[in-house]
Amino acid sequence: MSTTIVQLSNVTIFQSGSPVLAGVNLQIDKGEFVYLIGKTGSGKSSLLKLLYGELSLNEGNCTVAGFPLIGLPSTQIPFLRRKLGIVFQDFQLLPDRSVYANLEFVLLATGWKDKAEMQSRIEEALSNVGLSTKGFKLPHELSGGEQQRVVIARALLNHPELILADEPTGNLDPETSEEIMKLLFDISNKGTSVLMATHNYGLMDKFPARILKCENGRMEDTKTKEPSPVI
């Protein structure tokens, strides 16, 4: 069985009819952590949108978690997304529901029916992010870091092969950001690939990994960034 989770070959990504990235070649393997960097408007978000099926693929070949995206019927997109976990900068939690109910909502929406199985999966996901005792809380009763942990738990519910994280530390203080990074690296070390868009170069110094850079309509795949020397 192949360990390749994402494979793009000579892909051009279009947004509103105009190409934003051309000639994209990319492979992400199982359990790999990859940063995605570039200025605003350089194509980072468009690449993420392509991978989770919000943008259609019209040029090149792309396979994500076993789904070929060229010509992918809209009816298959929900099945693709069950293989993915998506983490945004703005938490997008339902404010009037408890943490537990937020996660239950996702399971119901993705076809789970057995109450006992749902309870077990929710408890496992909350345990994975260190929030076992917070299931009864409403989102506004949690800190920003705790809310982001809930979002990551939500992303983990369906045992995804790939997590797409779009600026997941953008609204967090430095200490909390490091905690979230440790959690995401732990997740990748356990076998789930992580592709993380970020502007935080300080975090990239502390948590070195492979870097994709979007610039001038192209994507450059760099080697692993090594930590800056301590002077």
Q: If DSSP states are collapsed to H, E and C, what string results for 96-156? A: CCCHHHHHHHHHHHCCCCCHHHHHHHHHHHHHHCCCCCCCCCCHHHCCHHHHHHHHHHHHH
Three-class SS of residue 194? strand
Nearest to 28 by CA among 160, 189, 193, 191: 193
Q: pTM for this one? A: 0.90
User: In the predicted model, what is the mean pLDDT of residues 114-126?
Assistant: 95
- CATH: 3.40.50.720, 3.40.190.10, 3.40.50.1980, 3.40.50.300. Which one for 32-58+74-222? 3.40.50.300
Rounded to whole angstroms, how far apart are CA atoms 6 and 139?
33
Q: What is the pLDDT of residues 44-93, one digit of tens each?
A: 989 999 999 999 898 999 999 999 999 889 889 888 988 999 998 777 89
Tell me which residue of 164, 218, 220 sits closest to 13, measured CA to CA.
218
The predicted model gives 160-187 an average pLDDT of 91
Residue whose token pair is 């190409």: 19
pLDDT tens string 176-219: 899 999 999 999 999 999 999 998 899 999 999 999 999 999 99
- Domain locations along the chain: 32-58+74-222
114 contacts: CB under 8 Å, gap ≥ 6: none
Distance CA 39, CA 10 (A): 22
Minimum mean pLDDT among 65-69, 94-98, 198-202, 220-224: which range?
220-224
Q: What is the pLDDT of residue 227?
A: 45
Residue 228: pLDDT over 80: no
* Residues 9 and 60: beta-carbon distance below 8 Å: yes
Has residue 224 got a pLDDT over 60? Answer: no
The tokens describing 121, both together, are 């999966």
Round to whole Å and give the CA distance between 13 and 23. 9
52 dihedral zone (left: phi>0; alpha: psi -120 to 50; beta) = alpha
Burial class (CB in 10 A: 0-12, 13-18, 19+), 216: exposed
Strand pairing category for 18-29 and 218-222: unpaired
How are beta strands 18-29 and 59-64 bridged, if at all?
A: unpaired
Tokens of 71: 């010509």
Share of the chain above pLDDT 90, in %: 68
